[in-house]
Structure formats: structure tokens, C-alpha cells
Structure 1
Amino acid sequence: MKFESMAQRHAYILERLQTEGNVRVADLFEALDVSAVTIRKDLKMLEDKKLLFRTHGNISRANPYTKDRNVNEKENILADQKTRIGKRAAEMIEPDDAIIIASGTTVLQVAKAIPEELRVTVLTSAMNISMALLDKPNIEIVQLGGIVRKTSTSVTGTYAEGILDHFTCSKLFLGVDGIDMEQGCTTSNMMEALLNKAMIRTAQKTIIVTDSSKFGKRGFGKICPLGDIDQIITDDGISPAMMRDLENMGVEVIIV
């Protein structure tokens, strides 16, 4: 495909972003049949106009870098989607399961959706999740200890990581701040990322529960590559291209 003018190239790039959300720069070289220098100039001009964001080898419509926000602020973002995701995830919990529920507003909805009559053991780093489970008589709660992060009401640190060495669990329900095809699963806090790594080692199966706004985002702390994830439960806002790429990597994507 050959475009004669810069305006035509820019329109094509923005249309691709509108459709796909994220685009590999290498794909643009081939599609536009122009030099790497020309593409870089085009992308810089569009980025200067705040029409796209560039990362290594990719472009996206939205700023891919996340920031740490208070749990009370995040709880109101895409609340309906998070509730549906939490209910679907809770359906995967079986009687007498020993599971880990990490921290975050979406995994909080998992805890709230667990039926009161279900007998299960829950390990968690988040105090608000423990509080949500207190009135459910058949649920045994193991609260991890450590340094409290006030923004997330959860604990982090080597003490919490060490406690996990004494357990083995069937499932981990994990929330993330970003899912990126290159960087994998990330969170905005380094200490949280280290604890999440330990949780993955403890669990036989890792299930990401996240709303679709986290796709194409990157946090400061790397948790794991996408190959370490078994399933992702999300809403229908995920782009078809992202869903296809994840499934090609062997990750089961469940849409609610």
C-alpha cells in the first residue's frame, strides 16, 4: 500500500489505532511501504499532537504507563464490569479449594461473590478482602502479614512472601495494573510485584481478573510474562487483536 502524502499516512495510522488499540511499528513499515526514518517522523508528529503514545516497537492510543492510585478512587472505575468479572471468577471456586486472592478492586469483587455456603480457604494480602469475607462462616481466612500499603489496603514485603512458602493453593486470582504483549503483567508498585511473583509460585493455576482498560498498559513493577498466566477474565472492551494474540500464546480469555 503506497500513500503519496503525509496526511494520508497519518490518517491510516490513526485509523489502525482506532480499530486495534495497539499497533506494532514494524507492521507500519510493511503496510505503508516507506522508510523507517519517514515512519519515525510521522509518529513523532502525531505524538507531539497527543494523538498517540510510543513505546518500544509499538504505538497506542492511550498512555500505556500506569500510576499508583488509591483503592477508593479505582473502585468506582468500570464498577459494573468489575462486578460481572468477580461473579464469573467466583464460579470457578470449588468446595474445599484453597485459593489466593491478591489485592485490587476487581479481585475484591471475587471475594464478595463467593457463596456463603461454600467451604473454602482463602489466603490474601488485602485487608479489605479479609473484611469482605468475615461474615461468611464457611470461609477460613489466612491473612498475610507485612508492610501495609495504605493506597491498596494490602501488605507487601519479605515476611508476606515467606509465609507463602508454607502453603500450596489450587488457584490464584490476581489483579494487575497493566497487560502488555511485550512486558507481560505489571503493577504500579515494585513490592506488590514481588509478592505477586511469590503467589504465582504457590498456586497451581493463575487467573487474571481485570477490566479491559488495563490492556496495552504498563506498570513500574513486572509481575510475570504472559506465558505464566492460565486464564484472563475480562469484559468485552478488549480488542479482537489483543484477544487473538493472547489466545495464540495459550492464554484462555473469558469475556463477561
Structure 2
Amino acid sequence: MMNLAERHQLILSRLQRDQYINVVDLCKELKVSSVTIRKDLKLLEDKSLLFRTHGGATMNNPYTVDRPVNEKEKIQSSEKNKIGAAAAELLNDNDSIVIASGTTVLYFAKNIQPAINLTVVTSALNVALELMRESTIEVIQLGGLLRKSSSSVMGSYAEQVLQDFYFNKLFLGVDGIDLDFGLTTTNAMEAQLNRKMINAAQKTIVLADSTKFGKRGFGKICGLEEIDHIITDKGISEQIVKHLEGLGVTVTIV
């Protein structure tokens, strides 16, 4: 059986390789109890070597902070554009879709081909402005309380309007994807609106660059089992892909 130092070395090497580790998997590999592993993780966190999460640990700070949309748009811009282009390929003529807020879904809107006929409902002002110039795309802008940091609306009025629609697809941006906690955003009211969008859509497609994995925002949107498809970039770890596919989630890597 490994001693304390050997266990810690193995835990850190697994984190370097996979970005995230699960308590249950470590218990099986090291043949020790979950109590022992959780103590190990706490000791390593106290030394600022990792961050504990629900059911595991990560090397990246899992707690996201709200940033202005114009600042977020510049982060991972190349990856977001590729993700948006891949998402646009999923559209069919005469689809009725709902687009949530976020910078990655804005890149999706920029990649939608003008020849396609669509009905789009969106909470995002920048998405509506991007699409309104296309004659083949009918845009319905949700109303409600304006969240300036994301250039989008939220609140009960927007939620009520969604009750009158049913969509082929939802294209959803998120602030965090945690393998245990699920999808999150930094605002609880926005998370509530996103849940209503999921309920109104036949299929939920999440657009998220790889930096969003292992992160957790304040407001929970839903569990991973409630989504159908994630489009991300090649920075995602193989372990996370296997976990998602095990839940029945289609993963597209650009």
C-alpha cells in the first residue's frame, strides 16, 4: 500500500494528465477509503496544489466570476468561432430554434448561412442584432430585465413568453460544466431562464470551449443527463469525453 507522499504524488500526476480526478476512481485505484482520499485532497488544497470540487478535484479554480460580454468575447475567440461554425452545420431549413446568451452562441449566430430559413427566439440582444439583417431569418427577441454584463434579458416576463413556443433545438452557452454539479452560469435568474428554454426544446445543444469544463458558477442550469450534445474544442480531456458519452451525451470536438 502506498504511503501518504506516494498517494499525493499519484493524485497530482493524474490531475496533470486528466485535468480532473474523481474520488471514487481514486479509491478503487489506491485501494483506500473515500475518507482517506478526501483528507488527501484537503491537505493538497491547503498547500494550493489543487481545488476540491463535489466528488473530486481539479487543478483549475472551478468558481467562475461574471465578466462583461465584450471582455469574454476576446477569450478563446478562435475556438469559439470553430464551435459556432460546427453548430451552424446542425441547422435544417425551416428549423425553429432558441438561442440563449453568451459569447460562444454569438459566434454561432455569425456563422449561420443567410440562405437558410429559420425562426429564432433569443434572449441575447447581440444575437438578435446579428441575425436581424438576414431576410430569411425571423427573429423574436424576448423581453425582460436587461442583464448588462451579458447583453441579454432574463426574468419572469421572458420565461412566460417561452411558454408559447416549442423549438427543434436550443443552442445554449454556459459559464461552467462540472461533471458532478452539471451546467452553471454566474447568474441565478439567467439559470432559471435557461431551464425554461430546455423544457421548451426538443434537443439541447451546449456550445462551450474547453476552459469551461471543471468550472462552476453560482446558478445551476441542469444536470448533464438533461442535455443531448456538446460542441467543444480539442482542449477537452479524454476522460471528460468518456464520462459525457457514458451519460449518452454526443460530444463534437473541433
Structure 2 length-normalised TM: 0.96
The equivalent of 2:242 in structure 1 is 244
Shift of 1:191: 0.4
> Whole-Å Cα distance in 2 between the matches of residues 173 and 7 of structure 1?
45
Q: What SS class does the counterpart of residue 94 from structure 1 fall into?
A: coil
1:217-256 to structure 2, matched below 5 A, reads 217-256=215-254
Unaligned runs of 5+ in 2: none
- 170, 175, 178: which one aligns with 1:177: 175
Q: Which residue of 1 aligns with 2:95?
A: 97
How much does 1:112 deviate?
0.6
Report whether the alignment pairs 1:3 with 2:9. no
Please show how residues 115-194 of structure 1 align to structure 2 within 5 Å. Answer: 115-194=113-192
Counterpart of 1:198 in structure 2 is 196
Counterparts of 1:252 and 1:37 in 2: how far apart (Å)? 34
Structure 1 residue ranges without an equivalent (≥5): none
Q: Secondary structure at the match of 1:54?
A: strand
Aligned residues: 254
Structural RMSD (CA): 1.4
Rounded to whole Å, the distance in 2 between the matches of 1:203 and 1:138 is 22
Deviation string, structure 1 residues 53-112 (Cα, Å, up to 9, x no partner): 112321111111111111111111111000000001011111111111110000001111
Q: Note if contact 2:23-2:34 (Cα within 8 Å) is conserved in structure 1.
A: no
How far apart, in 1, do the equivalents of 2:117 and 2:223 lie?
32
Match of 1:78 in 2: 76
Determine the structure 2 residue equivalent to 1:88: 86
Deviation at 1:24, TM superposition (A): 1.4
Task: Give me the whole-angstrom Cα distance separating, in 2, the residues matched to 1:37 and 1:179.
Answer: 25
- Alignment pair present for 1:63 and 2:61: yes
Check whether the contact 2:54–2:181 (CA below 8 A) recurs between aligned residues: no
Residues 130-177 of structure 1 show CA distances to partners (whole Å, capped at 9, x for unaligned) of 111122121111000000000000000000000011111111000011
Q: In structure 2, what is the equivalent of residue 12 of structure 1?
A: 10
Percent identical among aligned pairs is 57
Q: Return the alpha-carbon distance in structure 2 between the equivalents of residues 87 and 121 of structure 1.
A: 19
Whole-angstrom CA distance in 1 between matches of 2:34 and 2:149 = 43
- In the alignment, the residues of structure 2 paired with residue 48 and residue 216 of structure 1 have an alpha-carbon distance, to the nearest angstrom, of 19
Deviation at 1:43, TM superposition (A): 2.1
112-121 vs 139-148, greater mean Cα deviation: 112-121
Preserved contact between residue 105 and residue 172 of structure 2 (Cα < 8 Å): yes
User: Hey, what's the Cα distance between the residues in 2 that align with 1:35 and 1:207?
Assistant: 37
* Helix, strand or coil at the partner of 2:252: strand
Cα distance change, pair 224–37 in 1 and its aligned pair in 2 (3 A):
closer
Partners of 2:55 and 2:39 lie apart in 1 by: 14
Answer with 21-30 or 195-204: which moved more: 21-30
Shift of 1:216: 1.4
Q: Please state whether the residue corresponding to 1:200 is helix, strand or coil.
A: helix
Secondary structure of 1:140's counterpart equals strand
